């Protein structure tokens, strides 16, 4: 048996999961779970990187208490990064994508490059949270930090640096920055030059599967290899999808990534018009997708009610929604109104009034609004992907936390009018583990990896039923 450790960081929680590989199957065992709550550091919404690194150490300790661990891989959300000074120290705390001021920066992008040229040069959808815009914002608003910076490390790369003392940027996480070329999948010289960036600030890009080194001896965890997995959580999740033919996927967590896996980027006018993105996946594949708000609104509603003394589980919330027969409104889940933390009930009411829709009153109606609106967003995005690719897809693989909800998977099938295949739920951790095993020579390639997933997890199928949603 070979045991590897996946440290899987989402934008709201994290997990330490041991992947035990034996007889052609992988068994995932969670050894630690923790919240990932942002903090305010020097009045800026930030990631508590010291606390999160301490959770890696707890995950290692818990895992080593039960298993002999050969290697470790870290995956995280994209776009965010830390700044490293000339002494190799972190400058402040990495800023949170929801707290960076990029609005004014976006209005001046045309001073450097046209949006069409920016898209053609990077393949990334234009989002205000993208690393490029965050970096330009730091240069404008916090020049003292920017000009002290010697290296920029994405969050997963930062954790690897803290573990090994070595700096590198893995290809999939680098592809979320709007700083890489979609064809070469290396740093874009054109973007660096157009925006007057210092190329020396960007570490070398390495492939997934690269063995970065071993955990520093000073951490006292023994000889454990640190492997560059597909460090963007979506890229790891997509690898875990047990499909042998072209497919659609929805990786559903705090964010939802809706897309397909291709062997080349798509940079046509429709892709730009629909604001679709091209990111790097396993073995230099292209994930052609859109970043959509995912379960974020549901999570915030849950927190809102918990603050009022009503601490419901997701199972209780689902039952509440299923028992709600009243019509409710549909919202644009990607509207800026819902972007930042706060009382989502007030914002949904505000949106409902502005769009002259039925106003939710009871908890079940608010949650129903969030779930149905998200399913509608998926349907719209899938139509865009099919239009841009010229392909037609009959099945959707739903992975991640959202795949655990039979109600939500059935709703997605109903609204998109496509079969839904749900699972694996811990898709990112599974993909993380698979890449480590490929790097270690235990698995040969992507095809074998996906066959192993089919042997290791149960996939549920949901066929569409006829339903009627209120018009938004």
Query: Annotated active-site positions, please?
Result: 233
Query: Prior bond to 424 cis, omega within 30?
Result: yes
Cα–Cα dist 433/438, whole Å: 9
Q: Where do we find the tokens 């709007």?
A: 178
d(CA 179, CA 186): 8
Number of H helices, E strands in the chain: 17, 19
Q: Write the CA distances from 108 to 114, 118, 180, integer angstroms.
A: 10, 13, 20
Q: Is 222 left (phi over 0), alpha (psi -120 to 50) or beta?
A: left
Rounded to whole angstroms, the Cα distance separating 425 from 413 reads 17
Q: Do residues 410 and 452 touch, judged by C-beta distance below 8 A?
A: no
Looking at residue 10, the DSSP 8-state letter turns out to be -
Report which secondary-structure segment, H or E, holds 347: helix 344-354
Instruction: Write the CA distances from 441 to 2, 18, 80, 435, integer angstroms.
Output: 11, 18, 31, 10
Spell out where 216-273 has E strands.
225-228, 248-252, 255-262
Q: Determine the Cα–Cα distance for residues 233 and 10; give it in Å rounded to an integer.
A: 8
Instruction: Evaluate whether 240 touches 222 at the Cβ level (below 8 Å).
Output: no
By the 10 Å C-beta count (0-12 exposed, 13-18 middle, 19+ buried), 7 is classed as: buried
């Amino acid at each position: 048996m070979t045991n590897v450790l996946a440290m899987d960081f989402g934008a709201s929680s994290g997990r330490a999961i041991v992947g035990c590989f034996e007889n052609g199957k992988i068994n995932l065992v969670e050894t630690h779970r923790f919240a990932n709550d942002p903090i305010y550091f020097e009045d800026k919404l930030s990631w508590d990187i010291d606390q999160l690194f301490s959770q890696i150490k707890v995950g290692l300790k818990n895992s080593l208490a039960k298993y002999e661990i050969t290697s470790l891989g870290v995956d995280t959300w994209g776009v965010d990064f830390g700044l490293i000074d000339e002494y190799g120290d972190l400058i402040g705390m990495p800023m949170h994508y929801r707290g960076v001021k990029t609005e004014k920066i976006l209005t001046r992008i045309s001073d450097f490059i046209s949006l069409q040229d920016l898209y053609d040069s990077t393949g990334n959808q234009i989002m205000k949270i993208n690393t490029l815009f965050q970096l330009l914002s730091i240069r404008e608003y916090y020049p003292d930090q920017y000009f002290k910076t010697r290296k920029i490390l994405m969050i997963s790369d930062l954790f690897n640096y803290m573990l090994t003392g070595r700096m590198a940027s893995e290809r999939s996480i680098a592809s979320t920055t709007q700083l890489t070329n979609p064809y070469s999948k290396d740093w874009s010289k054109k973007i660096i030059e157009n925006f007057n960036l210092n190329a020396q600030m960007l570490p070398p890009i390495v492939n997934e599967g690269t063995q970065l080194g071993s955990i520093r001896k000073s951490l006292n965890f023994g000889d454990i290899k640190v492997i560059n997995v597909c460090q963007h959580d979506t890229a790891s999740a997509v690898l875990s999808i047990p499909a042998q033919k072209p497919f659609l996927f929805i990786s559903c967590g705090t964010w939802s990534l809706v897309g397909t896996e291709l062997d080349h980027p798509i940079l046509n006018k429709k892709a730009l018009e629909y604001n679709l993105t091209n990111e790097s996946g396993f073995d230099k594949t292209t994930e052609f997708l859109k970043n959509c708000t995912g379960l974020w609104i549901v999570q915030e509603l849950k927190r809102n009610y918990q603050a009022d003394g009503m601490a419901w589980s997701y199972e209780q919330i689902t039952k509440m929604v299923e028992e709600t027969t009243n019509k409710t409104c549909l919202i644009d889940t990607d509207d800026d109104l819902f972007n930042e933390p706060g009382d989502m009930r007030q914002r949904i009411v505000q949106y409902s009034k502005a769009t002259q829709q039925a106003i939710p009153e009871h908890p079940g109606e608010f949650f129903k609004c969030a779930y149905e609106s998200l399913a509608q967003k998926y349907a719209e995005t899938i139509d865009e992907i099919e239009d841009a690719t010229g392909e037609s897809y009959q099945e959707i693989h739903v992975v991640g936390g959202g795949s655990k909800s039979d109600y939500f998977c059935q709703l997605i099938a109903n609204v998109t009018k496509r079969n839904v295949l749900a699972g694996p739920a811990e898709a990112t951790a599974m993909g993380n583990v698979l890449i480590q095993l490929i790097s270690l020579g235990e698995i040969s390639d992507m095809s074998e990896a996906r066959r192993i997933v089919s042997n290791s997890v149960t996939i549920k199928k949901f066929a569409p039923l006829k339903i009627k949603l209120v018009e938004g």
